[in-house]
């Protein structure tokens, strides 16, 4: 259809595709035939970003990944293993020519094509843009990767950036930032460098290893702590102090999780208009404004804003990955408390492990088994007779009265017979 009325256009329901996190948080829900442009400096992680994205896109169909620079070398194999990029729909194809690539894409009914990198077909040539347009017309998502120049710009003419729907810059700090995105507002994420970062579980899960009992630090990392728990451990004095606990040294938008870099997944921005006595505290997640607390007047300020934030997002968790960061987050008082508890636990466990000396116990009198000469019970209330043998005392066996009576009766009968 070459033309369409406004009413017809308004009735169209074009759905974007959903991509697993964290790539979906960066890209939004692009169309099936979107064109994505990834670029950055040498060694920043462009190939890691594009391979992880390719594995995430494989949920929607066959992916043709063209490692034009690495081919099927060791670095590619290591990256596949490290990222856990082993989806059955992810296919690696050797570069031959543009025409050969088009034939493969049509033959395999591919969902997407990732070309790493476009330098193989000369980034300055119009063939790059023409290939992107061809993929768009055939309903194939096209992801092209390019290097950055010395002055910090992407390599190639501006027509490449104009043609793409999403432009992603990969930084040396380990982040991926959208410079352009037609499907959602600009944001940033940390580039997943391992399968654990992508939350991809391998098919055969290794057995969980217990933390060694003789570890140097009392706190096991990584661990999670909520904002409410942070509030109970610290007296909040400044937003810089708050950000240091989150893992960032400034109100930032970028990339990595807490404790791994200056830029954190979660950060705080505080703005104070002292003349008007108006104070605003922003909660940022990956640079995106999640919540804003505002206070005014003499009762306002950072503490009042922080209190509002805790009441709203007190259950929000921060992940701590490093021991030095754990000490900052927990504070000296709590960290020392855990050190004492850890030392006490180690002392107790070592005491339990020491072999206890064997003590011979004498059997109690009541526990002794009855002997053949000892009757089971006595029929009189007579006390046992004690025989004095100096310092020691011995207990005699009780007299059997019935037996004595019978013996006496026999003796009397015998004497009566003889004497009578």
Interval 68-78 mean pLDDT: 86
Looking at residue 318, its pLDDT comes to: 81
DSSP string computed for 394-412: EEPPPP-HHHHHHHHHHHH
Could you tell me how many residues make up the chain? Answer: 420
Q: Where residue 258 falls among pLDDT bands split at 50, 70, 90?
A: very low
Specify which of 82-86, 94-98, 232-236, 335-339 reaches the highest per-range mean pLDDT.
82-86
Locus of tokens 């990956």 = 286
Neighbours of 192 (CB within 10 A): 27
Interval 369-394 mean pLDDT: 44
Looking at residue 272, its pLDDT comes to: 87
Lowest mean pLDDT among 8-22, 120-134, 182-196: 120-134
Task: Give per-residue burial for 68-101: e unless 16+ CB within 10 Å, then b.
Answer: bbeeeeeebeebbebbbbeeebbbbbebeebeeb
pTM for the full predicted model: 0.49
Looking at residue 55, its pLDDT comes to: 96
Q: Under CATH, what is the fold of the domain 16-198?
A: Rossmann fold (3.40.50)
Specify which of 85-94, 249-258, 340-349 reaches the highest per-range mean pLDDT.
85-94
pLDDT(138) > 80: yes
Residues of each domain in the chain carrying CATH 3.40.50.300: 16-198
Looking at residue 342, its pLDDT comes to: 82
pLDDT(36) > 90: yes
Looking at residue 15, its pLDDT comes to: 83
Find all residues with CB under 8 Å of 244, minimum gap 6, and list them.
328
Locus of tokens 């929000």 = 316
Interval 101-107 mean pLDDT: 93
Looking at residue 206, its pLDDT comes to: 43
Interval 9-30 mean pLDDT: 89
Radius of gyration of the chain (CA): 41
Inter-axis angle of helices 323-353 and 239-246, nearest 10: 60
Interval 8-14 mean pLDDT: 82
Looking at residue 136, its pLDDT comes to: 92
């Amino acid at each position: 259809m070459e033309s369409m009325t406004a009413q017809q256009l308004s009735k169209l329901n074009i759905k974007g595709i959903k991509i697993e996190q964290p790539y979906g948080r960066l890209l939004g829900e692009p169309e099936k035939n979107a064109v994505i442009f990834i670029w950055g400096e040498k060694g920043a992680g462009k190939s890691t970003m594009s391979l992880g994205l390719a594995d995430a896109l494989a949920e929607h169909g066959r992916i043709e990944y063209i490692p034009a620079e690495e081919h099927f070398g060791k670095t590619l194999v290591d990256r596949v293993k490290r990222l856990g990029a082993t989806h059955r729909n992810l296919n690696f194809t050797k570069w031959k020519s543009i025409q050969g690539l088009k034939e493969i894409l049509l033959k395999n009914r591919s969902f997407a094509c990732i070309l790493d990198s476009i330098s193989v077909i000369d980034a300055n040539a119009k063939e790059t843009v023409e290939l992107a347009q061809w993929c768009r017309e055939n309903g194939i998502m096209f992801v092209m990767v390019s290097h950055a120049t010395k002055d910090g710009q992407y390599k190639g003419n501006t027509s490449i950036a104009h043609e793409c729907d999403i432009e992603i810059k990969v930084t040396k700090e380990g982040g991926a930032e959208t410079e352009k995105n037609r499907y959602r507002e600009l944001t940033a994420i940390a580039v997943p460098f391992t399968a654990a970062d992508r939350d991809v579980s391998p098919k055969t899960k290794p057995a969980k290893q217990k933390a060694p009992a003789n570890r140097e630090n009392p706190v096991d990392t990584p661990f999670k702590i909520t904002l409410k728990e942070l509030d109970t451990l610290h007296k909040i004095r400044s937003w810089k102090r708050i950000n240091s606990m989150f893992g960032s040294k400034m109100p930032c938008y970028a990339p990595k999780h807490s404790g791994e870099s200056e830029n954190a997944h979660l950060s705080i921005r505080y703005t104070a208009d002292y003349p008007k006595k108006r104070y605003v505290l922003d909660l940022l997640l990956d640079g995106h404004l999640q919540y804003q607390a505002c206070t005014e007047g003499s009762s306002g300020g950072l503490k009042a804003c922080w209190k509002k934030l805790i009441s709203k997002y007190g259950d929000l968790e921060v992940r701590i990955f490093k021991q030095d960061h754990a000490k900052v987050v927990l504070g000296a008082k709590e960290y020392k408390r855990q050190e004492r508890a850890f030392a006490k636990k180690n002392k107790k466990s070592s005491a339990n492990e020491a072999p206890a000396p064997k003590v011979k116990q004498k059997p109690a009198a009541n526990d002794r088994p009855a002997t053949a000469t000892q009757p089971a019970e006595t029929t009189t209330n007579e006390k046992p007779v004690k025989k004095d043998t100096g310092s020691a005392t011995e207990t005699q066996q009780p007299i059997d009265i019935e037996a004595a009576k019978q013996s006496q009766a026999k003796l009397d009968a015998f004497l009566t017979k003889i004497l009578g």
